[in-house]
Amino acid sequence: MSHLFLIVGLPGAGKTTTAAQLAASHQALRLTPDEWMIALYDGVQPDGKRDLLEGRLIMVALQALRIGTNVVLDFGLWGRDERSALRWLAATADASCTVVYLPVEPDVQRARVAHRQATAPHTTFPMSDADLVTWRAQFQAPDDAELDSTSPVPGPPPGWSGWPQWATDRWPSLTPAQSDP
């Protein structure tokens, strides 16, 4: 059975380092949108392009899971619904799933982000202290049920008939055919 690792955390939490370690130790395909965004869009983040890119990477992840390849999604996944949809999609690909949460304190986060921008600016996007504060307020930390890989995936939010519909709205390039079992 293949396995999906969902890397969850804010910028500077150590997500990409952890994702690379998991990929090496579990012979997994690692998909990191920032690396693709930087390469494809010359270091800028055009509006709407990240969601499209993530949808395509999720399609690749599902194809890999279906052929027995482990996958690490290094997306950040700030929202509970995103994580639930991906857990549901993993199950439809007959894969198990683990949510890997990397909390980070604000002072450590600022120091790590500043260090990365000073030493490896080509690997990141500019982030101000105000951005970090705003993003922290938007972030939904996983609860114990999400972190328990045996817990059932909750149903979709009100107004959605299922996770495939929610997922294709969230990630427009994820077509229904790819998100359905």
Mean pLDDT by 10 residues, the chain (181 residues): 98 97 98 92 83 96 97 97 98 97 98 94 90 97 96 96 95 74 55
**Token couple for 19:** 């994702």
pLDDT given at position 176: 60
The angle at the Cα of 97, spanning 66 to 36, to the nearest 5 degrees, equals 70
Q: How far apart are CA 78 and CA 2, in angstroms?
A: 24
Q: Where are the domains of the chain?
A: 3-170
User: For residues 50, 17, 81 and 164, what is the CA-based torsion angle, rounded to 10 degrees?
Assistant: 60
Distance CA 163, CA 166 (A): 5
For 116-125, write each residue's pLDDT tens digit: 999 998 888 8
Specify whether the CB–CB gap between 151 and 159 falls below 8 A. Answer: no
Calculate the CA 33 to chain-centre distance. 8
Q: Please, which contacts does 121-128 make with residues 24 or more away whose CB atoms are closer than 8 Å?
A: 122/38, 122/43, 123/34, 123/35, 123/38, 124/11, 124/34, 124/38, 125/34, 125/37, 125/38, 125/43, 125/44, 125/45, 127/11
pLDDT of residue 56: 96
Can you list the positions of beta strands (E) in 54-150? 70-76, 96-101
User: Residue 90's pLDDT is what?
Assistant: 97
Q: Does domain 3-170 have CATH number 3.40.50.300?
A: yes
Nearest CA-CA partner of 96 in 164, 35, 149: 149
Task: Give the pLDDT of residue 46.
Answer: 80
Q: What is the dihedral of CA 72, 143, 132, 78, to 10 degrees?
A: 50
pTM above 0.85, yes or no: yes
Q: What are phi and psi of 75, to 5 degrees?
A: -105, -20
